[in-house]
Amino acid sequence: MHDTSHKAPVWAMRYLLFIAGMGGLLYGIDIGIIAGALPYLESTASVAWKLTAQQLSFIVAAVLLGSVLSSLFAGALADILGRRWVMFLAGALFSASIPLIALADGYTPLLLGRLLQGISGGLIGVVVPLYLAECLPAQQRGRGAALFQLLLTIGLVAAALIGLLQAQTVETATQAAQALPEAGRIAAIFTAKDHAWRSIFWVCLTPGLVFTIGALLLAESPRWLAQRGRIEQARQSLLRTRLPADADIELREMQDTPENTAKAGGKARDPLLSRRYVLPFLLACLILACTQATGINSILAYVVNILNQAGLSGASANMADVLLKVLNAVMTVVAVLLVDRKGRKFLLMLGTGGIVVSLLAAGLLFRGAEAHLADVRPAIAAQVQGDALVLRLDAATLAALGAAADGTPQQLTIAYAYGPFTNVKSLRSDDPVLRQVSIARADAVQADSVIGVFFRKLHLTPFADPAAGREAPLRIEKASLGPVPSSTHGWLVAIAICVFVSSFAVGPGVCVWLALSELMPTRIRSNGMSIALLVNQFVSTVIAAIFLPTVGLHGYSTLFFFGAGCTVLYFLAAAFLLPETKGKTLEEIEAHFSK
């Protein structure tokens, strides 16, 4: 009997971590799956359904929109329905989105399916860390959040591998079709590509169903139950992952919080603007904003461009990109092993310190390369014809722009604008394929969208009005020419970015989910997490929106230095404001802020 009491919580704990990990996997798939499917979707849908580039952009962006919308109400929904049922709802929406997308025969079901995936991702990003924080014992809470982040990174890698597998299938089908007559060859390749993007989504259905069905077998959060006076059910929930003595102690702590004591005695509860609520909420928002201010999402998204600018060839830059994704997953495993041993403050200070050093190193490397750039804006502006520019980077053009005649490969970067719409074009003279830059209004001025109109009415939008760009003349804002950095310079930048990704994975990558869930008092945890995650997504979106225009006008070094400056603030917040939460119950953390 004694033996059973010790084993039962272990298996229940493993099951809870497994299902939460599947939630992280779905979150990663949500983010990464479109990358592998998009080339084949673009090739087939634009022919079969006459989809425009703008519609394809909406299909890609629908996940972000759905995630932002669901983040707004995820906390309130988790309070009304309970954490377990919202996890089930998130899994059901993801699972429903797969056949909707994979069987789509037009734009509307594709867009709706991607929107459902985004809504699912937003719910998962709030409710799974919330559930883990409220259900896991203090000694296991860090590992639970780390496993969520680990499976998220594995989801990204899995999405890339699924896309790679289908790419090989399409390549094989293309080679086999070469022996067919032209009409048959075109039909065979079209069928292979159409099957490829649908198969990429079908593969994702299995983890979705596992998470959905598995969520039904979980116990409800004991803290959610205790908040509603269902004390015996809360105790039974605790007993699934704790021994009876530990469950009774923790249940008493839940009942003895000022909030539950006031409720039981009919007293007025502390106002939401009291220090015990405001301080942890603001601290969590600061941590989440600083996490994205490091530039992690934009650097990972543009890493191939960055390394090309740093001096690496296309093949080497893509190889470094794969290495970074694997390194991210490996270092997250290290974080899983350390987070409950070394604590959150130690990992955050270690990680943010490494990020500052690596971003400063990358910024200084780029600043050294950018110092050799020549301003050729007047010469480029003189070649504008009407509202367009076509420029071939051949020997004659290089000579006209004042480049040395020693055959050194040159790199030209042009930042331009049509009214409020900006864009950047960059090319290298040693590129074996593309040595010509073409600038036209259609490249910068996008068609209007429902999303843009909606946000402009709220005066909360980075979306410019297309009407302001349709008649505006082409304006060359900056044009610079200089020698392509050496491959040694490129690999030094790659090493700096590897240190950056490693430091992020060990520190903020894992601890951000803990800050999101551990710092919030029970009364505001669900809604506070929704708002903090929204802050996180907003900062990420803004940095992504300004990334290319900023590097075009001010160079890559500027953004790296900006990220380093924000991370110094992050380091100071972790060192002096963040309490150590390792081994503490949520009630003990809440009591810290009420002192």
Per-residue pLDDT at 6: 46
Of the candidates 518, 2, 15, the residue with the CA atom closest to the CA atom of residue 240: 15
Of all residues in the chain, the percent with pLDDT exceeding 70 is 88
Supply the pLDDT for residue 391: 83
pLDDT of res. 1? 38
What is the rounded CA–CA span in Å between residue 151 and residue 242? 25
Q: Assess whether pLDDT exceeds 80 at residue 97.
A: yes
Radius of gyration of the chain (CA): 26
Q: What is the pLDDT, as a whole number, of residue 2?
A: 39
Side-chain half-sphere CA neighbours of 188 within 13 A: 17
Which of the four pLDDT bands, split at 50, 70 and 90, describes residue 258? low
On the question of pLDDT at 265 being above 60, the answer is no
Q: Which residues pair with 427 in a beta bridge?
A: 412
- Token digits of residue 158: 């899995």
What are the pLDDT digits (tens) for 50-93? 776 557 767 777 787 788 788 888 888 988 998 999 999 999 99
Tell me, yes or no, if the pTM score tops 0.75. no
The angle at the Cα of 503, spanning 497 to 505, to the nearest 5 degrees, equals: 105
For the domain made up of 1-218, give the CATH fold.
Growth Hormone; Chain: A; (1.20.1250)
3-state SS class at 491? helix
Q: If you search the block for the tokens 């059901």, which residue do you land on? A: 92
- Lowest mean pLDDT across 6-15, 104-113, 165-174: 6-15
Contact 146, 510 (CB under 8 A): yes
By CB neighbour count within 10 A (0-12 exposed, 13-18 middle, 19+ buried), where does 68 fall?
middle
- Please check the confidence at residue 516 and state whether its pLDDT lies above 60: yes
State pLDDT tens for residues 346-380.
899 999 999 999 999 999 999 988 888 888 888 88
Other C-beta atoms closer than 10 Å to the C-beta of 178 total 9
Phi, psi of 372 (to 5 degrees): -95, 5
Q: Is 36 exposed, middle or buried (0-12, 13-18, 19+ CB in 10 A)?
A: buried
The pLDDT assigned to 211 comes to 94
Which percentage of the chain shows pLDDT scores above 90? 17
Identify the weakest region by mean pLDDT among 84-88, 113-117, 148-152: 148-152
Q: Is 134 in contact with 83 (CB distance < 8 Å)?
A: yes
pLDDT at 315: 66
- The DSSP code sequence of 185-202 is HHHHHHHHHHHHHHHHHH
pLDDT at 462 over 70: no
Q: What is the pLDDT of residue 536?
A: 82
- pLDDT of 446 reads 63
Give residue 5's pLDDT band: very low, low, confident or very high (50, 70, 90): very low
Length of the chain: 595
Higher pLDDT, 227 or 259: 227
Question: Is pLDDT above 60 for 195?
Answer: yes
Secondary structure of 361-417 in HEC code, one letter for each residue: HHHHHHHHHHCCCEECHHHHHCCCECCEEEEECCHHHHHHCCCCCCCCCEEEEEEEE
Secondary structure of 15-35 as H, E, C letters? HHHHHHHHHHHHHHHHHHHHH
- pLDDT at residue 3 greater than cutoff 70: no
Q: Looking at the predicted structure, is the pLDDT value of residue 502 above 90?
A: yes
Pairing mode of beta strands 410-418, 374-375: unpaired
Instruction: Give the domain ranges of the chain.
Output: 1-218, 222-256, 386-484
Task: Decide if pLDDT at 290 tops 80.
Answer: yes
| 351 vs 149: CA distance, rounded Å | 15
Within 8 A by CB and 6+ apart from 170, the residues are 40, 189, 192, 193, 196
φ and ψ at 477, to 5 degrees?
Answer: -85, -35
Phi, psi dihedrals of residue 428, rounded to the nearest 5°? -120, 145
Place 247 in a pLDDT band, splitting at 50, 70 and 90.
confident
Q: Which of 78-82, 94-98, 491-495 has the lowest mean pLDDT?
A: 78-82
Residue of higher predicted confidence among 394 and 81:
81
At residue 35, does pLDDT exceed 70? no
pLDDT per residue as tens digits for the range 313-340? 766 776 777 788 788 888 988 888 888 7
Strand, coil or helix: what is 13?
helix
